[in-house]
Structure 1
C-alpha cells in the first residue's frame, strides 16, 4: 500500500519513448579465430550486392569467392556502395595510373578521407589485409564506438593505427571470434559479406522502414495548459535532447525554456502562470533534481541541489504561488521527508519528518499533509490526522496482497477516494470515511480486471469516470454530460482511442488520440463551439498504413490459468512458421498494454512475430493472479512464457527453430532464465539491464527501496530462508546450461539492476570460453535515455536477431 498524489511531474520520458532501449556476435569458442565467410553466406551477399549494382561482374566481381581481393577492387566496391561521384582528375596516388580500372574509385575515396596510401603509394594490385579492411569500413561507414566490449587475443599483433578500427568491426558484426589475424588476406567472399553487413544490406531490404523512424524522439509531446489558460507548455527535441517549450495561444512561435544537453528533461509541470518546474537526473542514476524556471527561460534555479539525493514532487500546491511540496531523502537515503520549497528563493523548510517507516504522503485540497502510509513491505498502515498540528493516527492495516491506495480527498476535505481490493480480488474505486474508519461506498468495480484510476471534476466536486483495462483501456462514466462529451470527441477521431488530458470549466478539452499504429495526436475540443483543433502529431513520420496490428490474445497455461497478452504479426506476411521474438515486460509487477510500441513495430517490420505475455505476477488481473507469481521467478512465471511459445508453435504461427527472447529489467532476467532453464527452446536471447543473480540483486536494492525489502522477500524469496530456491532460479548459477547466443546490455549508472548483474553473467560465460557480446554505456542507467545510445542499441539488436533467426 502506497500513498498516491496528483503530481504534475510526468514519468521518465525514456519510458515513453520506449515504453522502453543493441549489437552482437555469435557465442564462439575462444580458439576458433576470426570468422570466415562460408560459401552460402558469401554467395548470398554477392547476389545482393549484384542486385544493387555494387558488383557488376566486370571491373570487380570476377574473382572466385575464395581468392584474395585486391586493394583496387575493394576501392571500386566501396565507392559504388557509397554512390560517390568519380573525379576526372586522376587517381591521387603516383602508383595508380589514370588508365587503372580502380583509378577513379581510389581518387574518390581519397578525397573523402577513406583511402590512404603509405610511402609506397596505394598499391592497388596488392591483396587487402584484415586490418586494412577494418580501417576502410570504419571510415567509409562511420562505424563509431557503440559500447560493446570487444578485444582480440592477438590484439598486440594488429598495427597500432588499425587497432581501434579492428574493434569497431567486431562491434558492428563484421568479424567474430577472438583472434583477428590482422595480416590475413581477405578473400572476395569475405569482403562481399563484410560489405553487405557494413552497408546494412542484411537488415535493410528495400521495403523495410528505416530503423530511425521507429527509434526517434517524438516531434512534440506532454502538452500542458497554464493555470490561466493563456499558454501551453510541451517538450520537443533540441540539440538531440527533449527540452521544454512554451507557446502563447494565438502566436505561431514557441519559446524554448530549458537548455538540457546531457539528458532529456524527465518531466515538467506548471508552478504558476509565469513559472515551470522540471526534473532531471544525471546519467540515468535516478537521483532526480527539481528545478524552477521562468517561462521566458530566465531564472533557472536548482531547488534540490543535494548530492546523492532523490527528489519527488508531493504536491505542486496549485493555489499557492511560488511554493511546492517535495519529498527528499537527503537526511536518510532510505526515507523521504517532506519540504516546503519556495520556487522563487529556493528556501526549503521541513514540514514533515519521516520517523523511518513512512513510504508515502498525501495532501488535502488546501495543500495540508493529512495522510501518510507506513510500511515494512508486507504490513502497511494508513495514518490520518485532522490537522497538521495533530499526530497521525492509524486507520487501517493491510497485509501483502491487499491494496488500499489513497488517491485524493473528497472536495470537502473530509473523506478519501482510494483504490482498494480489501475484501475482494480486484481493485475498485471506493470512498473511505476516516471518522468512522469505514468504506462508505464502492464507486466502481469490475468483475474481470482491476479498476486503476478515475477522473475527478473540480467543477462538479465529484468523480465523473473510472478507468479499467482489459485488452484496452476503458472508461466507466458516472456523469451523463461527461459521457456525452467523450462520445462526441471519439466520434470525431474514428479508429482511435482517447486519453483525456485536461478539461476546464468552459468545456475546453485537451486529449490524445492514439491506436496501435500511431503514437498519437494531441487535440483541443471546444464543446461550446463544437470545434476540433489539432495541436500536434507526436510522430508525424509514422505511416499507419505500414504498421502492424497488435492483437489481444489468450491461451491456457499448463496448470489451467488463463493468460492474456498481445501478438503482433508482420504486416502482409502469411502467419505461418514465422521467426518469433518473445518480449516479456519488466517489473515484473506491471503489465503490457495495447497501443503503439515502437520496438514491437520495428521487429514486426523486420519480419518477426512478437509475443507479449502478461504472465502470472503481472498487475491488473486481481490479487490471486498477482500472488500466483510469488516465489515463481524462473518457475511458473517462466512457464507462462514457454507455454505461450508452445501455443504459437502448435498453432503453426511460430517456427520452432527460430524463437528468440528479448526483454529489459525483469524481462532481461526472463531472457537469461529462458536460455538457462529451457535451452532447447530459444535460438538467441537478449538481456537488457536484466539481473542474473537474485542474491546480489536483493543485496543491492536502492536505499529508498529498503521499506519494500520484505515485500521483495515474499514475492521473490528470502536470501536466507529461501536460499536453495534463489540459487535454483538465478541464471548465473546455471550459466553452463546456456548454449544459445546471448547479448547483454547494461547502463553503468543503473541504481536498480547494477552493472555487477551483467558483469557476472558475462564473466561466467567467458570463463567457459564463450564469447558474449556486452554493450555497456557509461552515461546510462536503468534503460537508455539518450537517443544516440538507443540507436546503438536497436541497430545492434536488429543485426543480432537477423543473424540468428534469419540467416
Structure 2
C-alpha cells in the first residue's frame, strides 16, 4: 500500500509542468481560493464518454461530455443564470443533474436545486423536480414536476436506462434529520411511482442491479439497518447501534457485490474499521477482513467493474487504492511508471466496452489533474486541471508527522513547510472543525499552501477525538472540549518548536467551527504559547449549543442534541461548572492576545450570536480585536470573493503579529 510521506515529491509534477526560472512572487490569493475550473469527471458506464463540470467565461459550471473516440466536446447542460451542480450517468446516453449557484452566498441560496435530465448531446432536456423559489427552466409546466424537496441519491442506479430512484424528503426543514420516501422516476416521461417500503427511512442503499436493498432508520438515539430480501421483497431489521457512539451491533454498509454479498466497514475485530463481508442470514461479520489499512480506519469505497469487485479506494495519510484484481494492479503499475511523482487514482468504467480508464493525479504540491489512459495503446491524455493557475514549483512540501501529547497519546498531524525553509519559522497551528471527523489528508490543500506561500509553517493536528485513527483515539476526545483535546493542540505547537521548525515566540492558532472554539480556548489557556488567534464560524459558548437563541436557530437535529451531544460534549446541567470553565464567552476577559474574529450572518450550524456575543465581551478588555461579518455567508465562506477577502485579511493580520520576518 501507499504511504504518502512527501519528501520524495519533486518540485515539479511529471505532467508537463516546467519549473519556474528564478525566484517568483507569491501567487495571488485568487489562485488558491477561486472555484476549481474542472471538477467531478465521471466515465459513462461503458467508458465511451467522460462527463465533467467545466467553468465557462462567466465562471459558470457547465456539464461537458467528452467523446473518447475522437475527443470532441459537447455541452450536455448549462444554465444561463446558474450552474450545473451534482450529476450522474443514467446510461451511456442520458445524465441526471441538479442546479446550483456559485455566485450566491449561502444566505442567498433559498432555492432547492431542482432535478433535470438530458441526453449527452444536450437533447431531450427535461426538468423533473421544481426549484424552490426562482426556477431556471420549466419544461412541461410546474404541475407536472415533482416537489422541490426531491433529490438525487448519493449513489448510482442501474445505469442501463432512463429510470432512476430519487428521494422525496418528507420534512420541510432540510437541515434536520429527515425521512425519505423513495420514488422510481422515469426521466423521459417525468412520471414517478413510490417504492413500497417501510416508513421512517433516512437513507437507502441500492444493489449492483440498481434496486433498493438496504435502508437505515433512526429513532431515540438508535440507528437501525433494514434489509430487503430480493426474492420475497420483505424487509427486516438486521442490525442496530447507538447513532453517535457506535455502541451495539454497528457497522457501516459499503456496497452490495454483483452476487449479492454485503460489504461493510467494522471495527469489531481490531478496534480499527476494516472491510468485511457480512453474513446477513447469520447476522455476523466474516472472520477475516478483506482490507485492513494499518493504523487507520477504513474510509473510502469499493470499486466494481466487469461484474466483480476490483479493489478499494481508501484514505490513509492520503488517498490511494488497493487492487484485488491482477489486471487492475498491472494498469496501476503502468500509470505509476508514467507518473512517478504523483499519487494516481485509477477508476475503470462499470461495464467497460473501451480500453479507457479515468486517472486523477495529485501530490502535496500538485492539485488534482484529470487524465484518461488507454490500457491498449498506452496513450495518456490530460483532460483538465482543478486549479490550473497553481504552479507546483511554487508550492510547499507536506509531511505526515506524529508527536506525543503530555499524557503519552500519539497525535498524527500534517506539517507544511515553506519551500526551501525548515527552521525557526513563524508557525500557524491550523485546527480542523467537527470535531469528531477526519480533519486532514495528505495532498494539496488551499489554506495550508496559501500560508506556506507567505512564509509560514503550518501544523494541522489530528487531536484526540478526530475520526479515522481507531476507536480509542476517537473516544479519547469525548467530553474533552477545552481539556485534553486542547492540550493536544498546545503540545503540537511545543513539539514544532522543540524540533526547531517553529520560532517559539512566533506561533498563532487558527481554525473554523470547532477549530474556532479551540483557537479561542488556546488564547485563554496558553497566552504565552499562542501570540495571536484567527477564529471563524467558531463556537463560543457550550451552553448556547444546547439552548439556542430566540433569533438564531441552529440546524443541528433534535436527535443529536438529545442523544449525541450529551455523550460527546457533555450535559449542560451536570457539567455546568466544566462548561463555564471551557466556554470562551465565559472566559473572554482572559483573551489578551490579538484576535481576528469572523462569522457568517446566515450561519445555521453555529449561529451569528456566538460571534457577536463573544466579540462584545472580548472587546471590553482587549482592544486588539478585528471583527469581520460576511452577512450572507453561512458556516464558512462559499463565495470566492469572500474567501479571497478573508485570507487576505489573515495574511495581513499574521504579518503584523508573527510575521515571516522576525
- Please report the TM-score for the alignment, with normalisation by the length of structure 1: 0.69
Q: Say yes or no: does 1:571 pair with 2:423.
A: no
Give the Cα–Cα distance (whole angstroms) in 2 for the partners of residues 327 and 490 of structure 1.
43
Residues 252 and 372 from structure 1, CA distance in 2 versus in 1: closer, same or farther, beyond 3 angstroms?
Answer: closer
- Aligned structure 1 segments of 4 or more residues deviating by more than 6 angstroms: none
Match of 2:153 in 1: 313
Q: Say yes or no: does 1:375 pair with 2:218.
A: yes
Counterpart of 1:519 (choices 357, 367, 370) is 367
Counterpart of 1:232 (choices 29, 50, 69) is 50
Give the Cα–Cα distance (whole angstroms) in 1 for the partners of residues 254 and 379 of structure 2.
33
Q: Map Cα deviations across residues 92-138 of structure 1 (whole Å, 9 max, x no partner).
A: xxxxxxxxxxxxxxxxxxxxxxxxxxxxxxxxxxxxxxxxxxxxxxx
Match of 2:321 in 1: 475
Equivalent residues in 2 for 1:196-595, closer than 5 Å: 207-227=25-45, 229-238=47-56, 239-249=58-68, 250=70, 252-255=72-75, 257-259=77-79, 261=81, 265-272=84-91, 273-280=93-100, 283-284=105-106, 289-294=113-118, 295=120, 299=125, 301=127, 303-305=129-131, 311=151, 313-317=153-157, 318-330=159-171, 334-340=177-183, 341-344=185-188, 346-351=190-195, 355-356=199-200, 358-376=201-219, 379-387=222-230, 392-399=235-242, 400-402=245-247, 403-413=250-260, 415-441=261-287, 442-462=289-309, 464-503=310-349, 505=352, 506-573=354-421, 575-588=422-435, 589-595=437-443
Give the Cα–Cα distance (whole angstroms) in 2 for the partners of residues 470 and 785 of structure 1.
28
Q: Rg larger in 1 or in 2? A: 1
Give the Cα–Cα distance (whole angstroms) in 1 for the partners of residues 219 and 527 of structure 2.
38
Counterpart of 1:790 (choices 643, 651, 660) is 643
Task: Tell me how far 1:397 sits from its aligned partner.
Answer: 2.8
Give the Cα–Cα distance (whole angstroms) in 1 for the partners of residues 633 and 192 of structure 2.
30
CA contact (8 A) 1:373 1:381 kept: yes
Task: Tell me how far 1:641 sits from its aligned partner.
Answer: 0.7
Residues 445 and 667 from structure 1, CA distance in 2 versus in 1: closer, same or farther, beyond 3 angstroms?
Answer: same
Residues 473 and 230 from structure 1, CA distance in 2 versus in 1: closer, same or farther, beyond 3 angstroms?
Answer: closer
Q: Map Cα deviations across residues 389-420 of structure 1 (whole Å, 9 max, x no partner).
A: 7553222233424540112112123x311111
Task: Tell me how far 1:605 sits from its aligned partner.
Answer: 1.2
CA contact (8 A) 2:254 2:302 kept: no
CA contact (8 A) 2:344 2:362 kept: yes
CA contact (8 A) 1:517 1:549 kept: yes
Residues 633 and 525 from structure 1, CA distance in 2 versus in 1: closer, same or farther, beyond 3 angstroms?
Answer: same
SS at match of 2:642: helix
Match of 2:531 in 1: 683
Q: Map Cα deviations across residues 324-347 of structure 1 (whole Å, 9 max, x no partner).
A: 322514367542212314434555
Task: Tell me how far 1:595 sits from its aligned partner.
Answer: 0.2
Residues 368 and 455 from structure 1, CA distance in 2 versus in 1: closer, same or farther, beyond 3 angstroms?
Answer: closer
Equivalent residues in 2 for 1:737-756, closer than 5 Å: 737-756=590-609
Give the Cα–Cα distance (whole angstroms) in 2 for the partners of residues 635 and 760 of structure 1.
23
SS at match of 1:443: coil
Q: Map Cα deviations across residues 424-444 of structure 1 (whole Å, 9 max, x no partner).
A: 300010111212212235212
**Higher strand fraction: Structure 1 or Structure 2?**
2
CA contact (8 A) 1:243 1:260 kept: no
Give the Cα–Cα distance (whole angstroms) in 1 for the partners of residues 178 and 100 of structure 2.
20
Give the Cα–Cα distance (whole angstroms) in 1 for the partners of residues 545 and 617 of structure 2.
17
- Please report the TM-score for the alignment, with normalisation by the length of structure 2: 0.83
Give the Cα–Cα distance (whole angstroms) in 1 for the partners of residues 356 and 290 of structure 2.
26
Give the Cα–Cα distance (whole angstroms) in 2 for the partners of residues 390 and 409 of structure 1.
16
CA contact (8 A) 2:591 2:622 kept: no
Residues 627 and 569 from structure 1, CA distance in 2 versus in 1: closer, same or farther, beyond 3 angstroms?
Answer: same
Match of 2:140 in 1: none
Q: Map Cα deviations across residues 288-331 of structure 1 (whole Å, 9 max, x no partner).
A: 53421424557462625458958452544223414332251436
Task: Tell me how far 1:445 sits from its aligned partner.
Answer: 1.9
SS at match of 1:799: helix
Q: Map Cα deviations across residues 464-491 of structure 1 (whole Å, 9 max, x no partner).
A: 3234444333433322222111111111
Q: Say yes or no: does 1:781 pair with 2:634.
A: yes
Give the Cα–Cα distance (whole angstroms) in 2 for the partners of residues 404 and 228 of structure 1.
32
Match of 2:468 in 1: 620
Task: Tell me how far 1:722 sits from its aligned partner.
Answer: 2.6
Match of 2:578 in 1: 725
Unaligned runs of 5+ in 2: 1-22, 134-147
Residues 412 and 629 from structure 1, CA distance in 2 versus in 1: closer, same or farther, beyond 3 angstroms?
Answer: same
Residues 467 and 219 from structure 1, CA distance in 2 versus in 1: closer, same or farther, beyond 3 angstroms?
Answer: closer
RMSD of aligned C-alpha atoms?
2.9
Residues 735 and 326 from structure 1, CA distance in 2 versus in 1: closer, same or farther, beyond 3 angstroms?
Answer: same
Residues 253 and 472 from structure 1, CA distance in 2 versus in 1: closer, same or farther, beyond 3 angstroms?
Answer: closer
Task: Tell me how far 1:454 sits from its aligned partner.
Answer: 4.1
SS at match of 1:209: coil
Give the Cα–Cα distance (whole angstroms) in 2 for the partners of residues 615 and 435 of structure 1.
39
Residues 309 and 744 from structure 1, CA distance in 2 versus in 1: closer, same or farther, beyond 3 angstroms?
Answer: farther
Residues 802 and 652 from structure 1, CA distance in 2 versus in 1: closer, same or farther, beyond 3 angstroms?
Answer: same
Give the Cα–Cα distance (whole angstroms) in 2 for the partners of residues 391 and 723 of structure 1.
48
CA contact (8 A) 2:370 2:384 kept: yes
SS at match of 2:162: coil
Give the Cα–Cα distance (whole angstroms) in 2 for the partners of residues 720 and 355 of structure 1.
35
Q: Say yes or no: does 1:708 pair with 2:560.
A: yes
Task: Tell me how far 1:790 sits from its aligned partner.
Answer: 1.5
Give the Cα–Cα distance (whole angstroms) in 2 for the partners of residues 348 and 638 of structure 1.
51
Residues 467 and 235 from structure 1, CA distance in 2 versus in 1: closer, same or farther, beyond 3 angstroms?
Answer: closer
SS at match of 1:583: strand
Unaligned runs of 5+ in 1: 1-204
Residues 390 and 274 from structure 1, CA distance in 2 versus in 1: closer, same or farther, beyond 3 angstroms?
Answer: closer
Task: Tell me how far 1:768 sits from its aligned partner.
Answer: 4.0
Give the Cα–Cα distance (whole angstroms) in 1 for the partners of residues 202 and 518 of structure 2.
29
Task: Tell me how far 1:570 sits from its aligned partner.
Answer: 1.3
Give the Cα–Cα distance (whole angstroms) in 1 for the partners of residues 164 and 150 of structure 2.
19
Residues 795 and 455 from structure 1, CA distance in 2 versus in 1: closer, same or farther, beyond 3 angstroms?
Answer: same
Q: Say yes or no: does 1:608 pair with 2:456.
A: yes
SS at match of 1:752: coil
CA contact (8 A) 1:551 1:566 kept: yes
SS at match of 1:599: helix
CA contact (8 A) 1:368 1:388 kept: no
Give the Cα–Cα distance (whole angstroms) in 1 for the partners of residues 458 and 634 of structure 2.
26
Residues 407 and 707 from structure 1, CA distance in 2 versus in 1: closer, same or farther, beyond 3 angstroms?
Answer: farther
Match of 1:669 in 2: 517
**Higher helix fraction: Structure 1 or Structure 2?**
1
Please say which of residues 751-760 and 318-327 is displaced more in the overlay.
318-327
Task: Tell me how far 1:231 sits from its aligned partner.
Answer: 3.4
Q: Map Cα deviations across residues 148-195 of structure 1 (whole Å, 9 max, x no partner).
A: xxxxxxxxxxxxxxxxxxxxxxxxxxxxxxxxxxxxxxxxxxxxxxxx
CA contact (8 A) 2:303 2:313 kept: no
Match of 1:655 in 2: 503
